Amino acid sequence: MHKIKILNENRVDLFTKNIKNETCKSKKIVKINDDLLELGLRKGLIEKDRDGFYFLGSYEKFLDFKNKKNYKIN
């Protein structure tokens, strides 16, 4: 199982500046299995940086990704 942080942040903002404390308080942390992590990394929905893995999008979008086997990227 891997811990994933779900952020409602713009991809550019996340990787060009440090995450502010108020953003850290508002993020959710969920656990996902190896297969789902690998799929998310391949599709570009999950990214890794020095602090761990991030899902860039809303919690509802994450649930759609987690529950649908044929998730489509918009």
Q: 73 in a domain, yes or no?
A: no
Per-residue pLDDT of 10-67, as tens digits, reads 554 555 555 554 444 457 889 998 888 998 899 888 999 888 898 888 888 888 888 8
pLDDT at 57: 83
Q: 74 in a domain, yes or no?
A: no
Question: What residue type is assigned to position 18 of the chain?
Answer: N
Q: What is the DSSP letter of 28?
A: E
By three-state DSSP, how is residue 31 classified? strand
Q: 6 in a domain, yes or no?
A: yes
Decide if 55 contacts 8 (C-beta within 8 A): no
How many structural domains is the chain composed of? 1
Whether this model's pTM surpasses 0.75: no
pLDDT at 13: 56
pLDDT at 69: 63
Q: Give backbone dihedrals phi and psi of 56, rounded to 5 degrees, phi first.
A: -95, 105
Range of the domain at 25: 2-67
Q: Give backbone dihedrals phi and psi of 64, rounded to 5 degrees, phi first.
A: -60, -45
Decide if 27 contacts 7 (C-beta within 8 A): yes
